[in-house]
Amino acid sequence: MMWLKQLIFLPGELLAVFYKALTGNLSPDGESLKPTPSIFKYVSVICWVWLAYTLYSNFAFSKIYYVYACPDGNTSKCYKVVADYMSGECEDVEYDIRGSSGGSCTDDSFGSITFPNSGYISFDYCDKNSKDKWTCYAEDRSDGVWNLQLAEILKVKK
């Protein structure tokens, strides 16, 4: 069970070694001259709790995206509807300390919107206008062009 204790306190111990190296509290052979402050053990526990919550929330909850959908050219007739969100993707991108380089990325967009009466409109593609606004072009041209604005994101239990 000693390995479990070491695993639990690993993030704090790494932080403690870094702290001791910065403050000069390490001897030349790497051994500590002073005991590790208990704050680093608390940091370890907080890191593990945060990691467990993040993993739990990713698998236990799903997101529902609501948007305001307005037909292009008619801003007086807008609907608050559920939208099928598609996150942006990147291909052949290399990440380093300065950020990303190379490859190509697509913006996030919406695949379709669903109306309360069970009607829906599927989109061929969407152009992102700003942080939370898109212009989407329907697959069926008779449905036209729609302007979407993100209204809210709800987290619901699966």
Strands (E) across the chain are located at 61-71, 79-86, 90-91, 94-96, 99-101, 104-105, 109-114, 120-130, 133-138, 145-157
Give the whole-angstrom CA distance, residue 131 versus residue 107: 10
- Per-residue model confidence (pLDDT) at position 54: 83
CB neighbours (10 Å) of residue 140?
A: 9
- Per-residue model confidence (pLDDT) at position 23: 65
User: Helices 39-60 and 10-23 meet at what angle, rounded to 10?
Assistant: 140
Query: What sections of 1-158 are H helices per DSSP?
Result: 2-8, 10-23, 39-60
- Per-residue model confidence (pLDDT) at position 122: 92
128, 30, 24: which is closest to 85 by C-alpha? 128
Long-range contacts from 45-50, C-beta under 8 angstroms, 24+ separation? 45/8, 45/12, 47/11, 47/12, 48/8, 48/11
Q: Which residues pair with 152 in a beta bridge?
A: 66
- Radius of gyration of the chain, Cα coordinates, nearest whole angstrom: 25
- Per-residue model confidence (pLDDT) at position 156: 86
Each residue's pLDDT, cut to its tens digit, for the chain (158 residues) gives: 555 555 555 666 666 666 666 666 655 555 555 555 667 677 777 878 888 888 887 788 888 999 999 988 766 788 999 999 888 777 766 666 666 566 666 778 899 999 998 889 999 888 889 888 999 999 987 888 999 999 999 988 87
Q: What are phi and psi of 149, to 5 degrees?
A: -130, 130
Give the whole-angstrom CA distance, residue 149 versus residue 146: 10
